[in-house]
């Protein structure tokens, strides 16, 4: 019963096989190999963006901070929600990689940015003097860090506000696949067609060993990204091993199959929890991440049985009997039997 995070699940066997195949023979380093070129083309096909620049890095944090550094000047501020990964979980990485740009937190509801609040903040910051941080890119997270989902129209509304102010838009897509299959849309519809300029396209949380893609729809930014990737220590010599993962990930819609499986598992857990007295969901469970509150006795039963999950952000695990909240995440490999056992323990069966 391992529900701590989808990035702690196993690597899909097809990904392992692709890595083994990539290990045969000799290839030019630093992405100058046929496999890297083929994988980049595969990403372009998925996004319906033949002119996009595509690069591979090993971590989601690297994808985010290098993407933002490419479109942010050091005297600017990046607009995001208080729940964004770049705010909560990257140890000031964006500030470091941009050379000092700050983050401005925009009011959110269910971890989704409020468009009116963004418009108000941008209006207040318009025409700031030399003494103030200048407006920089908008960064939104899809799937959000609370498991909620922006609709396409909501992404378009936020992007439209940014574009009206001359600002680029970054999308943190660590769980891009989970969000996309939940919406039933295409990668293009959830990115450049909605006004997004640069995407951190995740794979590690969805069955890869460790590979993410950065997709830049304005190819004029490509050279700057390449320089920042090298300077930041994220240009892999044996880049083909990142590319091999992404190539196998996108082949035959494996990435979508894994995301659908993870989402379906989480939806079964969410439905089961909602049927239990004394349990409530803290946010709508749109894809493969659930935030729920349930009695302390249920937590003890789960922990005693070896279940793994994290307390929700800001939650405290006291000795009292008050309900505690938890974050529960399903990955592509989640066995049905583990779901049933987890729910049975919450019920006290």
> From first to last of its 349 residues, what are the pLDDT tens digits of the chain?
899 999 999 999 999 999 999 999 999 999 999 999 999 999 999 999 999 999 999 999 999 999 999 999 999 999 999 999 999 999 999 999 999 999 999 999 999 999 999 999 999 988 889 999 999 999 999 999 999 999 999 999 999 999 999 999 999 999 999 999 999 999 999 999 999 999 999 999 999 999 999 999 999 999 999 999 999 999 999 999 999 999 999 999 999 999 999 999 999 999 999 999 999 999 999 999 999 999 999 999 999 999 999 987 545 555 567 788 999 999 999 999 999 999 999 999 8
Bridge pairing between strands 108-109 and 112-113: antiparallel
Q: What is the pLDDT of residue 255?
A: 98
Helix (H) or strand (E) holding 169: strand 169-173
| Domains, the chain, ordered by start | 12-253 (3.40.640.10), 255-347 (3.90.1150.10)
In order of 3, 31, 82, 147, 283, the CA distances from 290 in angstroms are: 10, 38, 19, 6, 7
How many residues are given for the chain? Answer: 349
In order of 2, 144, 236, 263, 304, the CA distances from 231 in angstroms are: 37, 29, 12, 37, 47
Contacts of 175 (CB under 8 A, 6+ apart): 6, 142, 143, 202, 205, 206, 287, 288, 289
Q: What is the pLDDT of residue 349?
A: 86
In contact, 98 and 224? CB cutoff 8 Å: no
Q: What is the pLDDT of residue 321?
A: 72
- The whole-angstrom separation of Cα 302 and Cα 296 is 10
């Amino acid at each position: 019963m391992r529900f701590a995070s989808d990035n702690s699940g196993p690597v899909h066997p097809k990904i392992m096989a692709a890595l083994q195949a990539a290990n045969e023979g000799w290839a030019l380093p630093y992405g100058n190999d046929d496999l890297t070129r083929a994988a980049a083309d595969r990403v372009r096909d998925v996004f319906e963006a033949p002119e996009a620049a595509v690069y591979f890095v090993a971590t989601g944090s690297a994808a985010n901070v290098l993407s933002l550094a490419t479109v942010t000047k050091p005297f600017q501020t990046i607009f995001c929600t208080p729940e964004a990964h770049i705010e909560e979980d990257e140890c000031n990485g964006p500030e470091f990689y941009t050379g000092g740009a700050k983050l401005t937190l925009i009011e959110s509801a269910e971890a989704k940015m409020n468009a009116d609040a963004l418009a108000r903040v941008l209006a207040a910051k318009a025409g700031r003097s030399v003494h103030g941080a200048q407006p920089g890119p908008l960064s939104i997270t899809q799937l959000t860090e609370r498991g909620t989902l922006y609709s396409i129209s909501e992404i378009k509304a936020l992007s439209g506000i940014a574009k009206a102010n001359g600002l680029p838009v970054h999308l943190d897509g660590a769980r891009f696949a989970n969000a996309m299959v939940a919406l039933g849309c295409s990668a293009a519809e959830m990115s450049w067609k909605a006004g997004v300029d640069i995407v951190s396209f995740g794979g590690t949380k969805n069955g890869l060993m460790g590979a993410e893609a950065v997709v830049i729809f304005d190819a004029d930014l490509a050279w700057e990204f390449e320089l920042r990737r090298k300077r930041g220590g994220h240009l892999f010599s044996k880049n083909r091993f990142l590319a091999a993962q992404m190539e196998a990930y996108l082949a035959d819609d494996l990435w979508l199959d894994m995301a659908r499986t993870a989402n379906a598992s989480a939806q079964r857990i969410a439905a089961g929890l909602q049927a239990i007295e004394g349990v409530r969901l803290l946010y709508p469970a749109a894809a493969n991440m659930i935030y729920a509150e349930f009695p302390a006795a249920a937590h003890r039963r789960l922990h005693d049985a070896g279940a793994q999950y994290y307390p929700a952000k800001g939650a405290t695990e006291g000795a009292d009997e008050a309900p505690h909240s938890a974050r529960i995440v399903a990955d592509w490999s989640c066995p049905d039997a583990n779901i049933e056992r987890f729910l049975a323990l919450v019920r006290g069966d």
